[in-house]
């Protein structure tokens, strides 16, 4: 506690004469007067040139923890276009890369360092033109960065001074090990490296051994008493499977003046629910998932960031690292894939210093034991009761599915993809499809009779013996 009390006394003004005054001016303009814990603990080591492993939960402010020392280093070394790439920042998703890039641009608004966003889905020729002019700081995703490192003529990282791997655990979960290893092989060994991760497991440790020097500084700001932000109020709601959509309708009406994120298990489920609520319920809904075009994802993300209220329907592509201001509620309509994903989803609210937020997860009565699993991970939920959901919206949905062929196709795809995700859930002792009434589950997608499901395993019929008994 003593160190926390000391950190609470820190302010960015204490860095005067230690870093360029223009960085301090930018921080003040951006409204940052005091560092978060991860910033206060990381900055001294990174400013001294140490390699760093930062372990901090989402929403802790780690973006500035690495951007401030990176910018300071390149200023002090006198980097210009002719020096080329001085820093490479690698992020697991396009949205997170864009978010880092937006913060970077604000931080160096009055500083003459060139920068470039390099992500899949954008025009490669435009990126090549920027890279060939000489770019000091690159923010991007692993696949596109490796592509440029290997294939873009005239592009070199020979002068690189800093490498940052953000959300390292997510980089590995997304299967980017080979991409990162390929990038690192092309980088000079004499450089500073920072790795940030919400969780430090064996895979992250292996990546650290590959990327960092021996004996990096390990910085952790995790709360040992709880795994989620202290300003977060979170609970669960028990709802029969056939009333799920009605519950969501009531939840969105209850929060219509607020900013809400709703998590679904699949892209097709997002598409179906988006169409129903946006077109037929006239709700202010935006959607993001991994199968949308990059331009649509970018527009949706930026629209929701700037909104004062509204709803974002999304998959877990929006669960990691995205810093969306003033999200009031996180609704987990479908269960997360594991405990870590639960924590990342709710981390979209109650972000930063002294902020608050709310989260609720929707469970069937048979799934209530998931609350005990979360408790073991230091996540504590209250039991909520929002009252009985209205029945009129259910009738509206059922009539729509009968009449509208396009909605019926969307509903069928969403229902089947929902079952697929449920069927392969890692905690099938809680989320067990054998205990799910498929006819009632189909009602939440507007079906009076469930569509045919061909991927669920059924027991093979035993062949009868000659005497009429069955083979055991």
**What's this model's pTM, rounded to 2 decimal places?**
0.68
Q: What are 237's strand-pairing partners?
A: 362, 384
User: What is the pLDDT, as a whole number, of residue 466?
Assistant: 46
Q: Say how far apart CA 393 and CA 347 lie, in whole Å.
A: 31
- Within 8 A by CB and 6+ apart from 241, the residues are 364, 436, 437, 440, 441, 443, 444
453 vs 195, 415, 416, 419, CA distance in Å?
44, 10, 7, 9
Q: CB burial class (10 A; 0-12, 13-18, 19+) of residue 290?
A: middle
Residue 289 has a CB neighbour count (10 Å cut-off) of: 22
Residue 51: closest CA among 207, 172, 156: 207
The tokens describing 329, both together, are 């509620």
Cβ atoms of 361 and 333 within 8 Å: the answer is no
The tokens describing 106, both together, are 């604000």
* Long-range Cβ contact pairs of 448-456 (< 8 A, separation 24 or more): 448/398, 450/415, 451/412, 451/415, 451/416, 453/416, 453/419, 455/416, 455/419, 455/420, 455/423, 456/419, 456/423
- Look up tokens 């027991």; give the residue: 459
Helix (H/G/I), strand (E/B), else coil: 464: strand
Q: Say how far apart CA 344 and CA 54 lie, in whole Å.
A: 16
Q: Say how far apart CA 142 and CA 140 lie, in whole Å.
A: 7
Consecutive H or E run containing 25: helix 21-29
In 15-146, the DSSP E strands lie at 52-55, 87-90, 115-118, 137-140
- Angle in degrees, CA 231, 233, 236, rounded to 5: 155
Q: Say how far apart CA 323 and CA 108 lie, in whole Å.
A: 19
User: What is the pLDDT, as a whole number, of residue 223?
Assistant: 57
- Within 8 A by CB and 6+ apart from 125, the residues are none
Residue 471 DSSP code? P
Going along the chain from its start, the domains and CATH numbers come out as: 2-220 (3.40.50.300), 232-443 (3.40.50.300)
The tokens describing 39, both together, are 């910033």
Per-residue pLDDT of the chain (472 residues; tens, 9 = 90+): 445 555 667 889 889 988 999 999 999 999 998 898 899 999 999 999 999 999 876 667 889 999 999 999 999 999 998 999 999 999 998 888 998 999 999 999 999 999 999 998 778 888 898 898 889 999 999 999 999 999 998 788 999 999 999 999 889 877 899 999 999 999 999 999 999 988 788 889 999 999 998 889 999 876 555 667 678 899 999 999 999 999 999 999 999 999 999 999 999 999 999 999 999 999 999 999 989 988 898 899 889 999 999 999 999 888 766 778 889 999 999 999 888 889 889 988 877 655 789 999 999 999 999 999 999 888 999 999 988 888 899 999 999 999 999 999 999 999 999 999 999 998 999 999 999 999 999 999 999 999 999 877 644 445 445 444 544 4
* Long-range Cβ contact pairs of 399-405 (< 8 A, separation 24 or more): 400/276, 400/280, 400/446, 401/445, 401/446, 401/447
User: What is the pLDDT, as a whole number, of residue 341?
Assistant: 87
Among the residues of 325-437, which ranges form H helices?
Answer: 339-346, 370-376, 392-403, 405-423
Residue 262: closest CA among 362, 159, 132, 383: 362
- Look up tokens 């490479």; give the residue: 88
Q: Say how far apart CA 20 and CA 40 lie, in whole Å.
A: 17
The tokens describing 281, both together, are 């319920």
Give me the torsion for CA of 292, 294, 295, 300, rounded to 10°: 60
Give me the torsion for CA of 130, 323, 299, 268, rounded to 10°: 120
């Amino acid at each position: 506690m003593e160190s926390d009390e000391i950190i609470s006394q820190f302010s960015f003004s204490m860095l005067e004469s230690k870093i360029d005054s223009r960085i301090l001016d930018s921080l003040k303009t951006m409204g940052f007067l005091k560092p978060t814990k991860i910033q206060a603990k990381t900055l001294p080591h990174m400013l001294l040139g140490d390699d760093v492993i930062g372990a901090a939960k989402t929403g802790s402010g780690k973006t500035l923890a690495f951007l401030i020392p990176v910018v300071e280093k390149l200023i002090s070394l006198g980097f210009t276009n002719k020096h080329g790439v001085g820093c490479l920042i690698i992020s697991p998703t396009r949205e997170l890369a864009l978010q880092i890039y937006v913060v970077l641009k604000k931080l160096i608004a009055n500083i003459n360092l060139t920068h470039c966003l390099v992500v899949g889905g954008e025009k490669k020729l435009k990126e090549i033109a920027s890279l060939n002019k000489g770019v000091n700081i690159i923010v991007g995703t692993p696949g596109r960065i490796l592509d440029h490192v290997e294939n873009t003529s005239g592009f070199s990282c020979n002068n690189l001074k800093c490498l940052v791997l953000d959300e390292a655990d997510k980089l590995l979960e997304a299967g980017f090990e080979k991409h990162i290893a390929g990038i690192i092989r092309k980088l000079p060994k004499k450089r500073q490296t920072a790795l940030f991760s919400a969780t430090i497991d064996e895979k992250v440790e292996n990546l650290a051994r590959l990327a960092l020097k021996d004996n990096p500084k390990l910085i952790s700001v995790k709360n040992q008493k709880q795994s989620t932000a202290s300003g977060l109020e979170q609970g669960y709601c028990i709802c029969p499977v056939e009333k799920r959509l009605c519950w969501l309708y009531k939840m969105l009406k209850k929060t219509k003046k607020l900013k809400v994120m709703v998590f679904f298990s699949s892209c097709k489920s997002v598409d179906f629910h988006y169409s129903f609520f946006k077109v037929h319920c006239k709700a202010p809904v935006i959607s993001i998932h991994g199968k949308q075009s990059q331009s649509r994802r970018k527009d949706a993300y930026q629209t929701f960031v700037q909104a004062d209220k509204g709803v974002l329907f999304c998959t877990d592509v929006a669960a990691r690292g995205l810093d969306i201001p003033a999200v009031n509620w996180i609704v987990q309509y479908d269960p997360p894939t594991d405990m870590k994903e639960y924590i990342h989803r709710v981390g979209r609210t109650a972000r930063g210093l002294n902020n608050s937020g709310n989260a609720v997860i929707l469970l069937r009565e048979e799934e209530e034991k998931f609350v005990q699993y979360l408790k073991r991970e230091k996540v504590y939920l209250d039991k909520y009761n929002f009252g009985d959901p209205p029945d009129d919206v259910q009738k509206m949905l059922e009539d729509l599915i009968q009449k509208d062929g396009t909605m019926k196709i969307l509903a069928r795809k969403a229902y089947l993809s929902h079952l697929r995700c449920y069927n392969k859930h890692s905690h099938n002792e809680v989320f067990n499809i054998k205990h799910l009434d498929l006819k009632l589950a189909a009602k939440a997608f507007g079906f009076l009779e469930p569509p045919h499901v061909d991927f669920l395993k059924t027991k093979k019929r035993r062949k009868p013996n000659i005497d009429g008994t069955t083979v055991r």
